[in-house]
Amino acid sequence: MKSIHAILRAAILAACTLPGTALGQPAPESPTTVPVRDLFADSWVATDDLGRRLPGHDETGPPRSDRTVALFYFLWHGAHIRGGPYDITRILAADPDAIHQPGHPLWGPLHAPHHWGESLLGHYLSDDAAVLRKHAQMLADAGVDTVVFDVTNQITYGRWYRALLREWSSLRRLGNPTPQVAFLAPFWDPAKVTRELWRDLYEPGLHPDLWFRWEGRPLILADPDLLDTREDRAQQDTPVELEPGSTLGQSFTTDHPLTAVGARLPTWHTRDAAVTLTLLHGGPGGSRIASDRFHFVGDNSWPLLRLPETLPPGRYYLEASEPGGRIGWWSHSQDTDPTGQAFRHGTPVPGDRTLRLVRADPEVDRIRAFFTFRKPQPDYFRGPTRPDMWSWLEVHPQHAFTNAAGMPEQVSVGVAQNAVAGRLGSMSEPGAHGRSWHRGARDTRPGAVRLGLNLEEQWRRAHAIDPRAIFITGWNEWIAGRFAEFNGVKHPVMFVDQFDQEHSRDIEPMRGGHGDDYHWQMVSWIRRYKGTRPEPVHRPGTIRIDGDFADWDAVQPEFRDTVGDPMRRDHPGWGEGVRYQDTSGRHDLIAAKASLEPDAAAFLIETREPLEDPPPPGQTTSWLVLLLDIDANPDTGWLGYDFAVNRRGPGSLDRSLDRGGAWHPEGTVEWRAAGRRLELRIPRKRLGLTGPPAALDFKWYDAHAPLTHVTNLLVQGDAAPNDRFNYRARPASTR
């Protein structure tokens, strides 16, 4: 979020930020009114590539509707292209010495974005519809309530967030759940971005069903004190310390109505400073207008005294008193304000003191009334300095960020942190807190990078605090600019926020490396935090394979899948001539049932549109494949699956020989298809069962592509349920 250089911003703003919508211009997009179709994803089961099983209801307890998960999300893939993609991992694999050679031909230009690795979906652009739909499905299944867009670089990425909102609204119109959206504005100057978002998205009322609300209003992570039109009288050359029992003051005249007034205060790097600011009419002896106490004042910050009502133009006096800790007032030894005067203990002294005058602004008043604001804390170490702040990333142990009532409201959870020896650093510096950092050091065991030790430690801390909201950093940042210096440190080649597999913080599955390990780790901890529902009660029927399907009506439960998610992709990627195309999507699988009968197991799959004709007899082409894990044991069979039906054509039955993907034909099973449904029945003895299974896990998969690798289930065709998930049918007698 730091690494795109300021020299790009003017051109990018002109090219990429969409104008506001004036009243009477294009009508607001109507909200989605289709009821959400509950997929019961929290009852699905899964085991990741490391053998870690998702916790279920017995471990997590029941759902807690008052717990929220937010995930940091990045829209900038495509907005900052300057050649490439320049893949840091591949560059250093080709020539490890390139890290010491800023002029090496494999590097992109200085400040240009470089990828630390590659997403499982490739080096995509942020308006790729197939990617956006896949993200929505994965995050909704995981239990993510809202994504928070990074707009901290003073760019709102209007074209890209509109593309996402269109696709996610489209999914919602089909009845699917998706996360909602919010924004993290620049920490120190949020006014421009907040106004643009207000004018372009919120005021016109675009996609209101996707706005994430907190305390009844849309949430924005921005400092509300920094939104105003303000006048800074900021000339300074001397930090004047406020002594106990004394006061410092400044008189001033303003020609504009005022809503707040503040001063720039040094604290000499201390963290416990406090002060009282008071505004008076005229001068030191004037009547009091407003007063407030400020605690944990940041060094060189601008505390603002908000006024109970707008003041007219006139002459006023701001006074600082009652110091706590070490605190002062930045001043100038010369007279810099012809309308004002500096004071010490009520007596005029030479020079003037810094002032910030906040002018009345009706638009800002509307913005403040519309949003719920949470001031974002940029610092990884300090924690909250006032109530109603949120963290986006911290080192362990993270702080509890409290609300105005003093209750723990929010905690951040990070994959990794560009923190070095207690300071903000670069991911490429030695000692940065990477994925394997925990207990104060990096775990150097082979394969430790896959374990998510940093993330695990942070989740355990957040779980112990148990706040109302957890903010996870992050999902899909992927890029960082190349620098030669950052925060006072110089190296030939530096990358601040992302560097390599170890020193990166994306959860989105990657190509190679740790694959989807971090995604399933996130799903697991979200379940522990939010709770889950029990597995649905299995009610079998007596099924005849006749293509009638009426006998399925009494079978419960109905297992559901995302609607509208077969992979169909055709979109440019990052780089000249790069285009991602995938036509593997065939049938849109939407619902399934299983009936575990005394002597057989029957299965039903339903699609959104009528079934295509099956392959003719003799063709060994997969078609609506059913995968069965008859012992609910992921350690047996291919990906845990012991049998596959329809893998070699309709009705074929194959038995898995090993975990490597070898199969043995076991004849055929009875099946019928008609309209949008297919049913089949497998005698229990054909599955090697002598009695009812304690639990049977199953999955359907369909694609214009062979099923040979787990990535087929993740990014090709359509799987029901999605990705590595399975449905579980458990006979009532085994519960």
Chain segment 458-477, per-residue pLDDT in tens: 999 999 999 999 999 999 99
Beta partners for 344? 248, 347
Query: What is the pLDDT confidence band of residue 7, given thresholds at 50, 70 and 90?
Result: very low
**Is the bond preceding 691 in cis, omega lying within 30 degrees of 0?**
no
Q: Please give the Cα distance from 638 to 208 (Å, whole number).
A: 44
Grade residue 732 by pLDDT with cuts at 50, 70 and 90.
Answer: confident
Mean per-residue pLDDT for 703-721?
95
CATH of domain 6-225+366-530: 3.20.20
- C-alpha gyration radius of the chain: 30
Q: Counting Cβ atoms within 10 Å, is residue 528 exposed (0-12), middle (13-18) or buried (19+)?
A: middle
The 10s digit of each residue's pLDDT in 203-252 is 999 999 999 999 999 999 999 989 988 999 999 999 999 999 999 999 99
Residue 12 has pLDDT above 90, yes or no: no
- Phi, psi dihedrals of residue 718, rounded to the nearest 5°: -145, 135
pLDDT value, residue 27: 36
Indicate whether 4 pLDDT > 50: no
Through-space distance between the first and last CA atoms of the chain, rounded to whole angstroms:
49
For residue 599, give the nearest of 483, 513, 686, 670 by alpha carbon.
686
The pLDDT value given to residue 21: 31
CATH 2.60.120.820 residue ranges for the chain: 230-360
3-state SS string for 635-676: CCCECCECEEECECECCEEEEECCCCCCEEEEEECEEEEECC
The answer to whether 222 and 194 have CB atoms below 8 angstroms apart is yes
Residues 454 and 439: their CA atoms lie apart, in Å, by 9
Using pLDDT thresholds of 50, 70 and 90, give the confidence band for residue 31.
low
Place of tokens 């510096």: 429
Which H or E run includes 460?
Answer: helix 453-465
| Average pLDDT, rounded, for the chain | 94
Coil, strand, or helix at residue 590? strand
Counting Cα atoms < 13 Å in the Cβ hemisphere of 329 gives 31
CATH architecture for segment(s) 550-734? Sandwich (2.60)
User: In this structure, which amino acid lies at residue 92?
Assistant: L
Alpha helices in 127-271 (DSSP H): 129-142, 158-173, 191-197
Asked if residue 17 has pLDDT above 70, the reply is: no
Predicted confidence (pLDDT) per residue in 151-194, tens digit? 999 999 999 999 999 999 999 999 999 999 999 999 999 999 99
Tell me: the pLDDT tens digits for 329-349? Answer: 999 999 999 999 999 999 999
Ranges in the chain annotated CATH 3.20.20:
6-225+366-530
Q: What is the DSSP letter of 198?
A: I
Protein fold of 230-360 = Jelly Rolls (2.60.120)
